[in-house]
Chains A and B, each alone.
Chain A
């Protein structure tokens, strides 16, 4: 589905401009998904840990521990895609 949307953006921009815009769309459109997890997933992990600590709930603690590993993976990949975005902006004198 994301690829579909992405394809339509590429089609719509291809004739008009420039691969430059399509490239911006690719890098940002991908990074924005990881960014969402980087922004909001920590709150979800902490909510699970809070429940786990408050109620001595082993299941919630297990969830928090496992989710934090998934968060680590997503933050690491997001750091890579984020750096790509940053270098694109730096090309335009923004970074």
Chain B
């Protein structure tokens, strides 16, 4: 991978700048609650959101470049010049950037909302819990249909740009017209077993006609096909399936709002809403599996294989075990801290963490609303 370092290092450096901006303004925002006036404090938070978005786009620039590399000149196996804009805005960026950015909003929105949905199911139904649910849920639910359209466009673009990845996603064994759509099922030795088969639908989705030709796995030699088509296909089905399911609570919410100007009351709505958070995380991880495993054996599409790039350091097994243990501890610790915060909030113990040597807080601005 060192070979392409000068190209792909670029978006990562830019991401670094946005990350530091985000960290700095997060500090100001947290520190400023009782020290900045209402709207001044609000504006100090805007750079957090903006740099978060641009940081994400930078990482997506790097990832989409790995799918559609370009914007550099190579002479005798060495990169001699780089065109930054062409690296950032590569062919795949147009659909990968919005797709992942929206996914992040769905994960965070449904994730936060599901906490309050669980609270609602446990009988905490005061305005605090209803508003805590409504703000993130409405944001995420409103973006769900947009994500649906972006994802659909992305899949069609991948059928053209990375046909072998698409063939694995949809179990297109042979290049053909009138390609069927498979839901579920496993793939082994060139055959699909146990799937729900819908004739012609795949061609229809790719080319708006059952007569459209779809490129199959047989278009490249076996060595150039992704190693585990079943994982890619099932991950794709999980992502698309959960994405479609999350339209249900959106429609339910719209219906309830149209009829009564209130949140739905039915227990099933709240169960769905509570499940939407974990489901969004699963869908996002599944989508990531589709794009990453689907690109194999390439790490940089058609230019460099993963085997060429991966470290063969014998110490990797030990460090892998260490990483898994460490991350398990980190994950549990994060959840415990968040639960501790929630318990403290419920107990009404709201004192802000004391800031050493900080200026005294003014209680007037803490109320914020009065400044408006």
Contacts and interface: CB of A to CB of B under 8 A. Distances in A.
A71 to B, nearest CB: 7
Decide if the interface of chain A is mainly helix, strand, loop or mixed: helix
A18 to B, nearest CB: 5
B46 A30 contact: no
Interface in A27-56: 27-30, 32-33, 35-56
Size category of the A interface is 35 or more
B231 A8 contact: yes
A62 B128 contact: yes
Given A17-B307, A50-B42, A67-B112, A42 B128 contact: no
A92 B12 contact: no
A49 B37 CA distance: 12
A73 B107 contact: no
A72 B353 CA distance: 12
Q: Is the interface of B mostly helix, strand, loop or mixed?
A: helix
B193 interface: no
Nearest to A21: B310
B309 interface: yes
B112 A41 contact: yes
Nearest to B6: A93
Contacts of A39: 52-53, 55-56, 101, 104-105, 108
29 contacts: A5-B235, A5-B282, A5-B285, A16-B228, A18-B310, A20-B313, A21-B310, A23-B316, A23-B323, A25-B292, A27-B327, A36-B104, A39-B105, A40-B104, A42-B48, A44-B112, A47-B139, A48-B131, A51-B135, A53-B372, A59-B127, A59-B131, A63-B128, A75-B23, A77-B334, A92-B1, A92-B311, A94-B1, A95-B9
Interface of B: 1-5, 8-9, 12, 16, 19, 22-23, 26, 29-30, 33, 38-39, 41-42, 45-46, 48-49, 52-53, 55-56, 59, 101, 103-105, 107-109, 111-112, 127-128, 131-132, 135-136, 139, 227-228, 231, 235, 278, 281-282, 284-286, 288-289, 292-293, 306-307, 309-313, 316-317, 319-320, 323-324, 327, 330-331, 334, 337-338, 341, 345, 350, 367-372
